[in-house]
Structure 1
Amino acid sequence: MVDGHRFVFTERTDSLGRSSVMPYLPLTLSNGSISTEAIALLDTGASVNVLPYEIGLQLEAVWEEQTVPIQLSGNLARNEARGLVLSGKIAQFSPILLAFAWTQSRDKLIVIHFSRLIRL
């Protein structure tokens, strides 16, 4: 049996005053001994986990040391992205390794693809 945890949809308002209700979840990301708390959008339609540039910097990742280019699509297609593997912890679950497309986008939202979080 797989243990579960429910996360409620959360209402957020953007800088233009537009409100939306989306599935956000608290996430602790770690890169070695450096950790940061963040809120991630659980996007079941995404094909890749996306990490904003500033969060990678907070975790002391070095852009120039990431050598795997990632091609993004959609509204992030014009931004360069590189592969970065981090440890992620959600709620009471054990930490797991998450592969991200670390993008130079200044957006502050982390996008997590649902299938990346399933552990049997």
Structure 2
Amino acid sequence: MPNTIEFPFADDEALPMIPVTLSYANFSVSANALLDSGSTVNLLPYDIGLQLGAIWEKQTVRLPLAGNLARVEARGLFLHIQIGDLEPVRLAFAWVQSSEVPLILGQTNFFREFDIYFRRSQNTIEITRC
């Protein structure tokens, strides 16, 4: 399997988004994820968690969030993420009880597992598995 993958960063895109496949138990969901180096945690919208077969009541680890999401309840959930042809990786997510938030890949622990190079002048995002 390759160690690096590159995605286009279109001129008209304001935010860096990449296609990913999330897996949990026997379910998988494809979605676009926002790469956010300013986000402390990975965020999983409620509806995507449900599509993956996760059960809210069975997730017992409660996570406090800050900022705009301080009032939204979140619970810890481990998922596998597949990015292109890269080896799947297990990541921790704050599964939020709201479907109004984007799927976000943040510092804990996406940016610990991957090196990301934003090459805006070349309209590319390069992702390398650490």
Scaled by the length of structure 2, what TM-score is found?
A: 0.78
Match of 1:115 among 90, 111, 114: 111
Match of 2:61 among 46, 57, 68: 68
Equivalent residue, structure 1, for 2:4: 4
Maintained 8 Å contact 2:25/2:53: no
Q: How many residues were matched structurally? A: 112
Seq. identity, %: 48
- Comparing both chains, which one has the higher relative contact order based on Cα–Cα distances under 8 Å and sequence gaps of 6 or more? 2
Equivalent residue, structure 2, for 1:17: none
Q: Secondary structure at the match of 2:8?
A: coil
> Structure 2 matches for 1:1-120, cutoff 5 A?
3-10=3-10, 21-107=14-100, 109-113=102-106, 114-118=110-114, 119-120=129-130
Structure 1 unaligned regions, length at least 5: 13-19
Give CA-to-partner distance per residue, 1:63-104, whole Å, 9 cap, x none: 000000001111111100000001110011010001000001
Scaled by the length of structure 1, what TM-score is found?
A: 0.84
Maintained 8 Å contact 1:7/1:23: no
Give CA-to-partner distance per residue, 1:30-77, whole Å, 9 cap, x none: 112110101000001111000000000000100000000001111111
